[in-house]
Amino acid sequence: MIIQRASCFHRALLTSLEKVGPRYFTAPAQTSVQPSTYRDYESRDIFDWDNLGFKLIQTDYMFMTRSSQNGNFEKGKLNPYGNIELSPSAGVLNYGQGLIEGTKAYRVDDGRIFLFRPQESGIRMQIGAKRMCMPSPSIQQFVEAVKLTTIANKRWIPPAGKGSLYIRPLLIGNGPILGIAPAPEYTFIVYACPVGNYLRNGTQPLTLYVEEEHHRATQGGAGGVKAITNYAPVIKAIQKAKERGYSDVLYLDSVNKKYIEEVSASNIFLVKGKNISTPVASGTILEGVTRKSIIDIAHDLEYQVEERLIEADELFSADEVFCTGTALGVAPVGSITYKNKRINYKVSSDLISEQLNSRLVAIQKGIIEDKRGWIIEIK
């Protein structure tokens, strides 16, 4: 029975790639996995889903394709999840020429599987690739690769309400290069991992520390794209904050050092009455997909939303603060410490952030109508 189902799955993968057409793949995607070796991808008993957390768990398959000399990407290939070979002189290792993305797949109550706005991640990767002088997969190729990786790792998608499958597209300059220049070859990889709550303390409110010494990004840099080089520099600030008992760090702008920008891996919102404000994305702030979604939902619910410069002093008068991100979701902030003063915020079930999050989750789970085409069903 397992062999029959796996064989059908193998044929379905090839059929779906054939439908994409020559514009995106020069030939149907190959797979180094024989049909008879596909695992029972319907199994839901492979993990303790109630204690999932947010850590790396090796799944079954990953998608990979490489660019040709003219910058177009070759046919895709599904491989068993595993290590990749890189030259010591690879552009990504020597000069950090790489981009990451993140999106999620959800299993809903009736067993269907939904992807949430993967095309937005594909668009963002193209924008980032242009900034980093890299070729990028087309949006359709990006989305198809995400779909295939999701299907191949279907058994790792947690049951409804237990978590999600976090999908990590990765674009790297793998070609060897000595001088500072674009790599001669690029690899596009998609792998996946089941995840629960991003935070160790689960659903507890965030406690943030405003960092005044280290900065996440600067004008003219790459803070507005999801470059791999944006993340290692913030580790020092995060470690310092966590040693003091905080969840994460809120960064200020590097020029005036008085405007809030974003948290290490999420965007931030302030609420005052019926008005919601978030720092304007002006090149130093990553425009998160969840951020965009929450802004649209807030407009639907008739809140006033402003994208503007926000002085850190406004933290003292805000009624409510919350953060958004693909990994994080929508999380209320319980307190922020700024200039050695701790600002506490109300945390209750009637928060505006809770209302926005409930609407977002209902769309992701198919409970309410998706009027914007955010959901892609995996079949």
Q: Which amino acids are annotated catalytic?
A: 226
Helix axis angle for 289-300 and 118-131, nearest 10°, is 130
> Contact, 146 vs 116, CB < 8 A?
no
C-alpha to C-alpha distance for 201 and 329, rounded to whole angstroms: 14
Identify the DSSP state of 36.
G
Q: Pick the closest to residue 133 from 65, 69, 183 (CA basis).
A: 183
Beta-carbon contacts of 276 under 8 Å, excluding residues fewer than 6 positions away, are 269, 270, 298, 303, 304, 305, 306, 352
Q: Pick the closest to residue 107 from 156, 59, 157, 53 (CA basis).
A: 157
C-alpha to C-alpha distance for 58 and 43, rounded to whole angstroms: 16
AA identity, residue 91: G
| Enclosing H/E stretch for 131 | helix 118-131
> Contact, 158 vs 11, CB < 8 A?
no
